[in-house]
């Protein structure tokens, strides 16, 4: 009889020190743990919980996933370890789940601390504006379809996608909020408070892990 195969999609949170007990215990039961999200010596914090840790050196999810599905020839239980919450703003997670299903591999996801959680706590966002909180992923390629609304608290994720071409985006937010409106650039645990009018240089310096928060207000 063929052995049951299981793929765990799990996370260490935003930092390997935030890994949950649940995830640590599951990693210990895996034949192999794959990750492209451990760098700068941080893998040494995770290695003690893995029978075999395979670092896929960042790069594209697809090539890492290919190697991982290949490894199911020799292993029954594999974990793919990412940062943040595995499904939050991460379309490859769904592709991984579908591929596992199509191959008859059981798929489970274990939650982790996401950038959203970190930002909410960092800014002390105990409640939201009457209009609520809006999450915008600039990386979804749908900017033309969207109209900004200053009545909503808004998080803009994946700023890096603007890649220096942020003039049109700045124009949009200036028109919606006005130049004196407060703006927060968060690269957790760092946070810079500025105004919409003074965002230009800060936006140009946005990193892969920078999120913009604009609280609701009048233009």
- How many CA atoms are closer than 13 Å to the CA of 150, on its beta-carbon side? 16
Crossing angle for the helix pair 61-71 and 91-102, nearest 10 degrees?
30
Q: In Å, how far from its chain's centre is CA 74?
A: 30
Q: CB of 170: closest distance to ligand SAM in angstroms?
A: 17
Listed residue (208, 183, 2, 202) closest to 104, CA to CA: 2
Please choose, from the candidates 9, 20, 218, the residue with its C-alpha nearest in 3D space to the C-alpha of residue 117. Answer: 20
Q: Least distance (Å) from ligand SAM to the CB of residue 85?
A: 4
Binding mask 18-57 for ligand SAM (x = CB under 6 A): ----------------------------------------
Residues 84-103 that bind ligand SAM (CB under 6 A): 84-85, 88-90
Number of residues that bind ligand SAM (CB under 6 A): 19
Query: With 0-12 CB in 10 A as exposed, 13-18 as middle and 19+ as buried, what is 145?
Result: exposed
- Residue holding tokens 């960042």? 58
Helix (H) or strand (E) holding 93: helix 91-102
In this complex, which beta carbon is closest to ligand SAM, that of residue 27 or of residue 159?
Answer: 159
Residue 14: CB minimum distance to ligand SAM, A: 5
Give me the torsion for CA of 35, 119, 95, 32, rounded to 10°: 20
Minimum distance between the CB of residue 13 and ligand SAM, rounded to whole angstroms?
9
**Contacts of ligand SAM in 133-172 (CB under 6 A):** 157-158, 160
Candidate segments 21-29, 32-40, 73-81, 205-213, binder of ligand SAM by CB under 6 A? 205-213
Residue showing the smallest CB distance to ligand SAM in the complex: 84
Q: Name the site residues for ligand SAM (rule: CB under 6 A).
A: 14, 84-85, 88-90, 114-115, 119, 157-158, 160, 186-188, 208-211
């Amino acid at each position: 009889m063929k052995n049951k195969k299981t793929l765990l999609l799990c996370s260490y949170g935003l930092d390997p020190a935030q890994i949950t007990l649940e995830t640590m215990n599951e990693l210990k039961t895996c034949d192999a743990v794959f990750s492209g999200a451990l760098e700068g010596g941080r893998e040494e914090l995770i290695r003690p919980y893995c029978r075999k840790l395979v670092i896929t050196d960042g790069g594209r999810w697809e090539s890492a996933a290919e190697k991982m599905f290949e490894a199911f020839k020799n292993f029954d239980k594999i974990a793919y370890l990412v940062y943040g919450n595995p499904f939050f703003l991460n379309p490859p997670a769904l592709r991984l789940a579908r591929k596992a299903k199509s191959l008859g591999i059981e798929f489970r996801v274990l939650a982790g601390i996401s950038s959203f959680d970190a930002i909410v706590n960092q800014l002390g966002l105990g409640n939201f504006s009457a209009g609520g909180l809006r999450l915008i992923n600039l990386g979804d390629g749908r900017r033309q379809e969207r109209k900004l609304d200053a009545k909503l608290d808004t998080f803009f994720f994946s700023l890096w996608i603007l890649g220096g071409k942020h003039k049109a985006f700045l124009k949009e937010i200036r028109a919606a909020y006005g130049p004196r409106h407060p703006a927060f650039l968060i690269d957790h645990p760092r946070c810079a408070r500025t105004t919409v009018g003074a965002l230009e240089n800060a936006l140009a310096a946005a990193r892969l892990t920078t999120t913009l928060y604009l609280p609701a207000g009048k233009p």
